[in-house]
Structures are given as C-alpha cells and as structure tokens.
Amino acid sequence: MLEESIQELESRSLARIASAATAEELEAVRVDALGRKGALTQFSKDMGKLAPEDRKRAGMLLNGAKQRLEAALEGKKSEFDAAALAARLDTEWVDLTLPAPGPRRGHLHPITRIQRELEQLFVSLGFAVLDGPEVETEYHNFDALNIPPDHPARDMQDTFWLEGGNLLRTHTSPVQVRGMERLGPPLRMIAPGRVFRNESVDASHEHTFYQLEGMMIDRDVSVAHLLYFMKTLLTAIFKREVTVRLRPGYFPFVEPGFELDIQCLICGGPGCAVCKQSGWVELLPCGLVNPNVLRMSGIDPEKWGGFAFGLGLTRLVMMRYGIDDIRQLQGGDIRFLEQF
Ligand code: 2NL
C-alpha cells in the first residue's frame, strides 16, 4: 500500500517537474513532495507503523524516490538558470568593437575670450596682468581710492558687505592698489576680473559682472598718453579705427576724470537705437590718477604721475555679439553659449 503510494507520488512529481514552466512552479512541487509537511515526509512518519520486514524495503524505496526527485528538481533548476542567463546576455550585450564616443569638446566663454584677447594686447604693450582677491578690505576697495566714507557706493544697497567689515570687491581697482603697493613706480598693469554689486537683476544689470581696469605710472604721463593707449585699445577691440571724444567725468580716484565716448559703430554718427539717437556710445571712463591715490599707496605724486581706465568687459561682449540680455551670459544655458 505504502510502496504504491510512494511510487505514484514519485511519478506524479517527476511529471510535474518535467512540465514546470517557472521557478515558482518548481518550488511548489518541492514543497508538496519534500517539504516539512510534504507527502514523502508524511510517508516516512507512516513507516513506523509497518512490520519490520516491510519497513526496510519501504525505506529504500522512499530514499530512492527522494534522491531522484531532488536530482530532477536540481536539473530543472539549472535549466531555468541557464535560460535566464541567456536572456540577460541577449539584452545586455555591448559591442566592444564600436568606436568610443570620445569627450565632448567645449569652448571658452565669450567673456573669457575677450578678456584673453585684451590681456595679450596689453602684455604686448609692456603691461603686467594682475590678479587679486574677490573678498576685499574696505580700505583697498574704497579708502585707498579716495572714495569718502559718505560716498553712496559704500551703501548696503550698492555693496555686498560681509561679516567682519570685508566686502565683495565692487571693481577691480583694489587689485591696482595692491599692485601699486607691491610693484612701485614705474609700472604698467591691468587687472581683469569678476566684480560684484548689490543690484536688482534685469536685462542690463547683474550682481556679478566682469571688468578690466588698467594703469600706467611713469614720469610726465599726460592725457596725450592716455588717449594714445585708449585709441590703441579700441582699435584692437573693434578691429578698425574709431572716432573718440572726451567729456569731463567725475570719479574720486582720477583728476581730471573723463568719459570717453566712441562714435556709434552701428549708425556711424547720425543716431540710432544703440546710441539712443546721439551718435555716440559711452564706453571707457578714464583719467589721470588722483595724487591722493598715489600718495596713499606709497608713490610720490611730485615725482610720478599716471593714467587709469576701467572697461566693462560684460558690456563689451554684449555690444560685440549683439546680446540684449545680460542674464544670458551667466545663466548656464548651454544652447545659448554654443552660439559663440
Ligand atoms: C568703472 C571705473 C575707472 C579707474 C576706473 C582707477 C584705479 C586706481 C586709480 C585710479 Cl587704483 N583709477 N580706475 C579709473 C578711471 C575710470 O572706471 O567702473 N569702469 C567701468
């Protein structure tokens, strides 16, 4: 009776194993036959009731059935594993013989390009290119430039003040102050870099923008020298001769101070939208270095004199490339930058 039941269970289970389509079905067969509450387990408990001479035969049969079922389960399981591996290899293959995509080439930002162009020009004229800290002392950013304590530029509205009295430089002039202190006269230097003003941002104002200031200090430097260098600078920028005019302009760090305008390159004089119908574009504030500024940085104004200028690099880039919104330049939109 028991022997027949064992044989029947074995052949039924073998048939189920053979036709199992998933690992779950296979596991169900194992639980039904060999599990803790499975049929074979129950049979081995029932063997105790058999007569001793029957018990041996039934035991051998039971062990044999168990071994054959375990072997069949194992065999089917490796079939499933092999099929799963084959399916993965089929979908996840990589063609190692394909050429590698290679790094994506970038290019310099238009502001960096114009900055480097001007650096090369000034180096060729004997100027040093100086760098300095973006976090400055109040002294280097304001006092040493003859900017009085009640000047509006020192207001919270115009300057990013930091804890402890330092600030984010509002121009690159402090680099020139440090240059005068360190190099002494005679000297020629430019100070290009990033500057910060506490502005509300709109199409023509950014809190962060770029400047290039320059200075030459020597004996008997005059407005004629200033004009020569400014015209050389403008010809290099615009790649043609430009007509300039000087107007008086007030900056505490120069005396006399000028606004240098160029004749509008778009309309050539009669007036257009770019020059606001005036025929002239305000471009380059400049002047002779104020004797107080020289003295504060340890240079004797009786012996030495110089000119200085400040050029808005951001504004220059906008004019050169016809960019009408300053926010695009630092917006980080690669589609915008890829145009240059
Ligand atoms: C501007 C400012 C100017 C200067 C900057 C200067 C620096 C020292 C001494 C004297 Cl250390 N001058 N810099 C001179 C004239 C004009 O322009 O905001 N430009 C866009």
Q: What is the pLDDT along the chain (340 residues), one digit of tens a residue?
A: 778 888 888 889 888 988 988 888 888 889 888 888 888 888 888 888 888 888 888 888 888 889 988 998 899 999 889 998 999 999 998 888 998 888 888 899 999 999 999 999 999 999 999 999 999 999 999 999 999 888 887 887 899 999 999 999 999 999 999 999 999 999 999 999 999 999 888 887 889 999 999 999 999 999 999 999 999 999 888 888 888 899 999 999 999 999 999 888 777 788 877 778 888 888 899 999 999 999 999 999 999 999 999 999 988 888 888 788 888 888 889 899 888 8
Q: What is the pLDDT of residue 155?
A: 83
Token reading at 336:
């915008």
Q: Is the CB of 289 under 6 A from ligand 1?
A: yes
Nearest Cα residue to 279 out of 293, 261, 294, 291:
261
Query: Is 174 touching ligand 1 by the criterion CB < 6 Å?
Result: no
Determine the distance separating the centroid of ligand 1 and the alpha carbon of 286, expressed in angstroms. 6
For ligand 1, atom 3, name the residue with the nearest CA. Answer: 310
The 10 Å CB-count burial string (b at 16+, else e) for 208-226 is bbbbbbbbbbeeebeeebb
Q: Are 311 and 173 in contact (CB under 8 A)?
A: no
**What is the Å distance from ligand 1's center to 278 Cα?**
25
Q: Is the Cβ atom of 192 under 6 angstroms away from ligand 1?
A: no
Give yes or no for a contact between 90 and 36, defined as CB atoms under 8 angstroms apart.
no
Residue matched to tokens 């973006």: 134
**Which of 189, 199, 213 to probe ligand 1 with, by most ligand atoms within 8 A of CB?**
213
Distance between alpha carbon 292 and the CA centroid of its chain, in Å? 41
Instruction: Provide the pLDDT for residue 141.
Output: 97
The encoded tokens of residue 211 equal 């400047």
Q: Is 195 in the pocket of ligand 1 (CB under 6 A)?
A: no
Residue 319 token pair: 């004019």
